[in-house]
Amino acid sequence: MTAVNRFFPTFRVVGAARAGLGALLAVALAWLSGCASGSSYPPAPTTLPAALDYTYIIGPGDGLNVSVWRNPELSMSVVVRPDGKVNAPLVDELVAQGKTPEQLAREVEKILGKYVRDPVVTVMVTGFVGPYSEQIRVVGEAAKPQFLPYKNKMTLLDVMIAVGGLTDFASGNKASILRTAEGNKQYAVRIEDLIKRGDVNANVEMRPGDILIIPQSLF
């Protein structure tokens, strides 16, 4: 084999290696470009339609004040059991979960009507937990990932205050909301712009059952 023939195999190997490295760099640059451009999800709507105004639904763990007018001996404070039921004087194994306070009051009136003439019942929620399906869940790089009871007009800022903000490793502007009320549709949110730069335009209204996902920064 001549010196030239010996050179070309080496050249071809080196060239192939360089080509492979070039392709790898191209893929990496494309990936970085995608990361820099932000989330591929559509931005979350800032406000929700007025038709979606929320009515509180009772859930396990809620504290209830049941007041019976002119019958203080039948009034009581109870906690909804894990199975969604409550027990009270003359009211046995009544399902409270999934009902509004007004609906529950009407049911208690119907039961007490067997023993008391024209009972008037008021139900007030004193400890808010709510049904699991309507709780807000925060996962990922929040300082205190947890679930939160949903409250009417609750915003992303309210949620972030409750969970103590972001960790040092969070990629806040690549966070997203998984909206179970819309068939698990996913929306992009800019948490870092909201809580670190004070951009109020990045604040959005939450919906019952939302899951806030905060990824970790890769750099």
**Same-domain status, 86 and 123:** yes
pLDDT in tens, 131-140: 999 999 999 9
Which of residues 73, 94, 127 is at a domain's end? 127
Q: Residue 152 is part of which domain span?
A: 39-54+132-214
Residue 17 lies in a domain: yes
> Do 88 and 142 belong together in one domain?
no
- Residue 219 domain-assigned? no
For residue 105, being part of any structural domain is answered with yes
The pLDDT assigned to 67 comes to 96
- Structural domain count, the chain: 3
Query: Rounded to a whole number, what is the distance in angstroms from the first to the last CA of the chain?
Result: 50
Above 60 in pLDDT, residue 173?
A: yes
Q: What is the mean pLDDT of the chain?
A: 85
The mean pLDDT of 14-35, rounded to a whole number, is 41
Exposed/middle/buried for residue 90 (C-beta within 10 Å: 0-12, 13-18, 19+): middle
Helix (H, G, I), strand (E, B) or coil at 111: helix
Asked if 44 and 99 sit in the same domain, the reply is no
Residue bearing the bigger pLDDT, 66 or 25: 66
Q: Let me know whether 90 and 50 are in one domain.
A: no
pLDDT bin (cut points 50, 70, 90) of residue 126 is very high
